[in-house]
Amino acid sequence: MPIKIPDTLPARTTLEAEGLVVMRETDAARQDIRPLQFGLLNLMPDKPRTEAQFARLLGATPLQVELSLIQLASHTPRNTSADHMSAFYRTWEEVRGRTFDGFIVTGAPVETLPFEQVGYWDELRRIFDWTRTHVHASFMVCWGAQAALRHFHGVPKHQLPQKRSGVYAHRIVEPASPILRGLSDEVDIPVSRHTEVRREDLPADGRLKVLLESDESGLCLLEDAQQRALHMFNHLEYEAGTLAEEYVRDAAKDPAAPLPAHYFPGDDPTRAPSNRWRSHAHLLFANWINEIYQTTPFDLEAIGR
Q: What is the set of active-site residues? A: 142, 235, 237
Whole-angstrom CA distances from 141 to 22, 42, 44, 193, 220 are: 24, 10, 11, 11, 10
Q: For 197-256, where are the E strands, in sequence order?
A: 208-214, 218-224, 229-232
Given CA atoms 218, 221, 223, 229 in this order, what sign does their dihedral have? Answer: positive
The angle at the Cα of 245, spanning 243 to 248, to the nearest 5 degrees, equals: 110
Other residues' Cβ atoms within 10 Å of the Cβ of residue 61? 21
Q: Answer yes or no: are the C-beta atoms of 144 and 106 closer than 8 Å.
A: yes
The partner residues of 138 in beta bridges, in order of sequence, read 103, 229
Q: Is 237 helix (H, G, I), strand (E, B) or coil?
A: coil
Which of 64, 53, 55 is CA-nearest to residue 23? 64
Instruction: Report angle CA 76, 57, 53 to the nearest 5 degrees.
Output: 40
Strands 135-141 and 158-172: unpaired
From the list 288, 295, 60, the residue with the least C-alpha distance to 177 is: 288
